[in-house]
Structure 1
Amino acid sequence: MFARAGVNAARTVGMQSRNYATLREIEMRLKSIKNIEKITKTMKIVASTRLGRAQKAMALSRVYDEADSEVYTHAESAKVEQPAEPKSLIIAVSSDKGLCGSIHSQIGKATKKILAEKPTADVVVVGDKIKAQVQRSNSESIVLAFNGTGKAAPTFVEASLIADEILKLQAQKKYDSVEILYNKFVSSVSFAPTAKNLYNEETIKQSKGLSAYELDEDSNVPVAMSEFSLANSLLVAMAEGHAAEISARRNAMDNASKNAGEMINKYSILYNRTRQAVITNELVDIITGASSLD
């Protein structure tokens, strides 16, 4: 009889210890989720604050890009015949930061798709995230890499410094085709990987419509136009990508905060139910013990 009572008592103590352990684990889990929710909400607020400045920088860059594109449209540069097998350069623009959804993987997929069509093309990567994406499958194609971008809204000075290094590479390799890949800001909830072709010095010289502009015959206008177009296009690509990235990060943090809120509600209910079960078990044990003493 006493042995059976001892076994039942040990079983009761074991059940209580398991309940206490479970209750403690739920409490710790709930506290952890609440801390994560605070972080994601803060990051959402920071992203929302930065988005206004990013969109302003993007709008300014679009003005110069429209003027630049209009010149080449009137010059009919796109109609200039290219070599049968042009030597191509791809400039993939991203950033160094994550926690912004699929924005980096999308530009990585677009880059890999072009490399599948042009396996001999060289790649210049702007940003550590796109570098990591391309390195997994086409590491031998990367000839130049830049990082430290995306921390703030890009400026023309930053774009010019990158363009200078690419121009040095262009002087060595003599690329016939240069293409920039970037994430174009479509709206606050969407972006689109976009490619933009650039024109080198020779293509600009052969543009038939260029004669409509008053240019000195002995001037280096085509060279200057090519260099400025590269820097300007890089600024546009970086500004568009920066705005798209911050918008995507804000949306990602908003979704994360909502998911954390749902988990908090779920674990709060589970915690209360488990706590109530522990209290009920203790009351049953007290009542049972008091009854056995009578």
Structure 2
Amino acid sequence: MFRLGLKQMTPIGARNYATLREIEMRLKSIKNIEKITNTMKIVASTRLNKAQRAMQASRVFHESDSEFIENAELEAKEADKTLLIVVSSDKGLCGSIHTQVSKAARKRIEALGGNVDVVTVGDKVKTQMLRTHDDKLKLSFNGVGKEAPNFNEVALIADEIVKLGTYENTEILYNKFVSGVSFEPTTFGVFAKEAIDSAPGLSKYEIETEETSEIISEFSLANSLLTAMAEGYASEVSARRNAMDNASKNAGEMINSYSILYNRTRQAVITNELVDIITGASSLD
């Protein structure tokens, strides 16, 4: 009878030990994840200050463009075809920031009746746009979002976009930084050479050559892209910091839960072992 009882109890003990070992391994993995998310949160917090400084600097250029548009009395006109430039980045782990700008891009394409050519800046938004509007995508850029954008990088992107041809209406869609916990998809337009030439208030400025309006249009495109990418970068870093903070908190809660489960399971295993020992001793008597 002793041997029969031992055979029946051994699998139960084995399952308890396996469960305890699994809980311990899970607990260690969650602790490692918490270390990673905490580190990423610290890195994002450090980068956020730099990103905000770059964003503030880029806004100065955009304000100059806005002032020119106001003084020259430029007005947006209906166009047969619109160029929509959607700005995002290549990196993830930053919440819903890429999804929101992609949804806004789809809504804008529908609002324009589908007469749109799309340019994407960043692999994340490119991937999402290919799922629904692959026929609209004309050009894409990657390798962006690792650092705060600079004018040289943006100028190269703008030069490639200009090669697509002339569009009467060009819009840039990006994530505007509102606060440390908030951002919103926003658009602003870039005026083409023809719109600048026909502006009523252009006479306020001294135009030396016929190419000046074309240069202004290309420079405005580069300035607008710089602002959009700087705003998007600041929004992304802020969103990543918040996402990693939430992930660290969730990991902490899971660590507490698994620690309690581990202790209870360990106590149960010890109790079962004591019961086995006492039962075996009693049977010998």
The alignment's TM-score, normalised by the length of structure 2, stands at: 0.97
User: Which aligned pairs between 1:95-110 and structure 2 lie closer than 5 A?
Assistant: 95-110=89-104
Q: Secondary structure at the match of 1:140?
A: coil
Letter in 2 for 1:74: N
Aligned residue for 2:15? 18
1:146 aligns with 141
Q: Distance in 2 between matches of 1:7 and 1:32?
A: 39
Among 86, 92, 110, which residue is 1:92 paired with? 86
- 1:214 Cα deviation (Å)? 2.9
Q: CA RMSD in A?
A: 1.2
Residue 116 of structure 1: how far off its partner (Å): 1.4
The whole-number CA distance in structure 2 between the counterparts of 1:281 and 1:168 is 76
Whole-angstrom distance in 1 between the partners of 2:258 and 2:180: 32
With 238-247 and 203-212 compared, the bigger mean Cα shift is at 203-212
Structure 1: gaps spanning 5 or more residues? none
In 2: Cα distance, 1:219 partner to 1:56 partner: 36
Confirm or deny that 1:275 pairs with 2:246: no
Range with bigger deviation, 241-250 or 282-291: 282-291
Match for residue 257 of structure 2 among 266, 272, 280: 266
Of 35, 40, 44, the residue aligned with 1:43 is 40
C-alpha distance in 2 between matches for 1:203 and 1:176: 8
Classify the secondary structure of the residue corresponding to 2:186: strand
Among 47, 60, 65, the residue aligned to 1:63: 60
Contact 2:48 2:234 in 1 (8 A): yes
Correspondence for 1:247: 238
1:29 and 1:202 mapped to 2: Cα distance? 64
Residue in 1 that maps onto 2:182 = 190
Aligned length: 284
Partner Cα distance (1:11, 1:183) in 2: 64
Determine helix, strand or coil for the equivalent of 2:164. Answer: helix
**TM-superposition CA deviations, 1:139-191 (whole Å, max 9, x none):** 01000010000011100000000000011112xxx211100000000000010
1:11 deviates by 1.8
Q: What amino acid is aligned across from residue 10 of structure 2 in structure 1?
A: V
1:209 Cα deviation after fit: 1.3
> After the TM superposition, which parts of structure 1 deviate over 4 Å for at least 4 consecutive aligned residues?
none
1:38 deviates by: 0.6
Q: Distance in 2 between matches of 1:270 and 1:225?
A: 66
Match of 1:206 in 2: 198
Query: How far is 1:213 from its partner?
Result: 2.1
Q: The residue matched to 2:19 in structure 1 has which SS?
A: helix
Shift of residue 251 of structure 1?
0.4
Shift of 1:219: 4.2
Q: Larger deviation: 146-155 or 9-18?
A: 9-18
Q: Partner of 2:187: helix, strand, or coil?
A: strand
Match of 2:150 among 140, 155, 168: 155
Pick aligned residue for 1:115 from 91, 109, 112:
109
CA distance, structure 1, for counterparts of residue 178 and residue 245 of structure 2: 19
What amino acid is aligned across from residue 181 of structure 2 in structure 1? V
Q: What TM-score do the two structures reach when normalised by structure 1? A: 0.94
